[in-house]
Amino acid sequence: MKQESGLKNAGTLDPAFHGDGMMEMPTSTTAVAALQDKKLLVATGWLAGSGHTVSRFTDKGAFDQSFGKDGTVVIPDRGAVAMSPSAVIPLSTGGYLISGIQLVRADKLYVFGLLEDGRLDESFGDEGMVTL
C-alpha cells in the first residue's frame, strides 16, 4: 500500500505489506475498498449462519485493531436476509456503507451503515439497514 523509498520500479510489490507484498483474501470476499488513509476495507459474502463480515486492514496488511473486534465486524443476518455484499463505500464522515443483493431474491438491495470503528450505525435506516 505504501511503496518504500529506494525501490526502482513503480508497481513492484512492497515487502512491507504483509511481509511479501501480497495478502490472500478469504474465498468469500465480494467487495474491497482502498481507503484514503491507505487502509483496506474488505467485505465477505454470507456464510451459513454467520452473517457477513467486514474487515479493515492497515497499510501494512495487518488487521486494524481499532476496527470492530480484532479488525473484523460481523453484520448479523436479519431474518432471512442472506446478502452478498457488492460494494463498500467510504463516507466523508468516516463511516461506511455496505451494499449488496439478497442471494435468494436478487431483486432486493440491502445497504448497511457502519460507523468508523465498525459498529452498526443504528441511526441509518432501520437500526443500521435499508432495504430497496
Query: What's this model's pTM, rounded to 2 decimal places?
Result: 0.81
Average pLDDT over residues 87-101: 91
Give the tens place of pLDDT for each residue, 111-127. Answer: 999 999 999 999 999 88
Average pLDDT over the chain, rounded to an integer? 82
Give the tens place of pLDDT for each residue, 44-76. Answer: 876 555 678 899 999 988 999 999 999 999 887
Half-sphere exposure of 86 (CA within 13 A, CB side): 11
Residue type, 66: S
Helix then strand then coil, in percent of the chain rounded to 5, is: 0, 40, 60
What is the distance between the alpha carbons of residues 17 and 22, in angstroms, rounded to a whole number?
Answer: 7
Closest CA to 67 of 56, 76, 59: 56
Q: What is the pLDDT of residue 7?
A: 53
